[in-house]
């Protein structure tokens, strides 16, 4: 058993505010490859990832903000400014979607979503193990069809599941108090 690996899993925590450097190409390749080891009923590989980097990040901010406004959702000017200044520093966003293969009726949609979530979890853990911080967000117009569609995830064929921001934490990542697992675990011993 690798104590180091376990300690990494135990110490993972999210950090929203990240800056460059983000992972280099080799690190990013390994990070994304960990997603391929997620549990996956029927080997459907439903997860899809779209990388958004460099100048594409402010363009995504423009696209998401105009999509949110076009959908008639409230967006206070200070919230818009905060979102833009957060994204201005983020070196890498990974947009996450679950592909719905309508020809497969055996594996229910929620199992595909769970597999995609497990794939994201592997990426979050890999980022942490490589010394980066990451944060899963369903902000930035995740639930606005026009935004998901703008990223290529039309709502007929995909469930858009948000963005993973990855980079170097801007300030020291605070330890997260974690609950005792015993609050969430019981044992069933038969009727």
Q: Which residues contact ligand FMN (rule: CB under 6 A)?
A: 13-14, 135-139, 162, 176
Q: Is 178 annotated as a binding residue?
A: no
Nearest distance, CB of residue 41 and ligand FMN, angstroms:
19
Nearest distance, CB of residue 102 and ligand FMN, angstroms:
23
Q: How many CB atoms lie within 10 A of CB 149?
A: 15
Question: Quick one: 28 or 133, whose CB is closer to ligand FMN?
Answer: 133
Q: How many CB atoms lie within 10 A of CB 177?
A: 5
Question: Quick one: 10 or 25, whose CB is closer to ligand FMN?
Answer: 10
**CA of 62: how far to CAs of 49, 57, 65, in Å?**
20, 9, 5
Nearest distance, CB of residue 144 and ligand FMN, angstroms:
13
Close Cβ partners of 30 (under 8 Å, ≥ 6 residues apart):
126, 130
Q: Is 41 annotated as a binding residue?
A: yes
Close Cβ partners of 148 (under 8 Å, ≥ 6 residues apart):
97, 141, 142, 154, 155, 158, 160
| In contact, 87 and 170? CB cutoff 8 Å | no
User: Of 57, 42, 151, which Cα lies nearest the Cα of 96?
Assistant: 151
Q: Is 13 annotated as a binding residue?
A: yes
Question: Quick one: 29 or 73, whose CB is closer to ligand FMN?
Answer: 73
Nearest distance, CB of residue 105 and ligand FMN, angstroms:
25
Q: Is 137 annotated as a binding residue?
A: yes
Nearest distance, CB of residue 35 and ligand FMN, angstroms:
15
| In contact, 91 and 19? CB cutoff 8 Å | yes
Question: Quick one: 29 or 88, whose CB is closer to ligand FMN?
Answer: 88
Question: Quick one: 1 or 172, whose CB is closer to ligand FMN?
Answer: 172
User: Of 1, 56, 60, 51, which Cα lies nearest the Cα of 28?
Assistant: 51
Annotated binding residues for FMN, written as ranges, equal 12-14, 41, 136-138
């Amino acid at each position: 058993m690798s104590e180091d690996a376990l300690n990494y899993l135990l110490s993972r925590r999210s950090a929203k505010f990240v800056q460059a450097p983000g992972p280099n190409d080799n690190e990013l390749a390994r990070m994304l490859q960990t997603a391929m080891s997620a549990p996956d009923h029927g080997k459907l590989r439903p997860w899809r990832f779209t990388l958004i980097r460099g100048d594409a990040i402010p363009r995504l901010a423009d696209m998401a903000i105009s999509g949110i406004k076009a959908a008639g959702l409230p967006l206070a000017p200070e919230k818009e400014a905060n979102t833009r200044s957060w994204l201005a520093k983020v070196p890498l966003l990974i947009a996450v979607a679950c592909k719905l293969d309508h020809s497969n009726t055996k594996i229910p949609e929620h199992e595909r979503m769970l597999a995609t979530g497990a794939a994201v979890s592997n990426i979050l853990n890999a980022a942490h193990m490589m010394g980066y911080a990451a944060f899963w967000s369903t902000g930035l117009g995740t639930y606005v069809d026009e935004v998901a569609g703008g990223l290529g995830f039309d709502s007929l064929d995909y469930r858009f599941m948000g963005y993973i921001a990855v980079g170097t934490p801007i300030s020291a990542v605070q330890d997260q108090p974690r609950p005792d697992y015993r609050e969430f675990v019981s044992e069933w011993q038969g009727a």
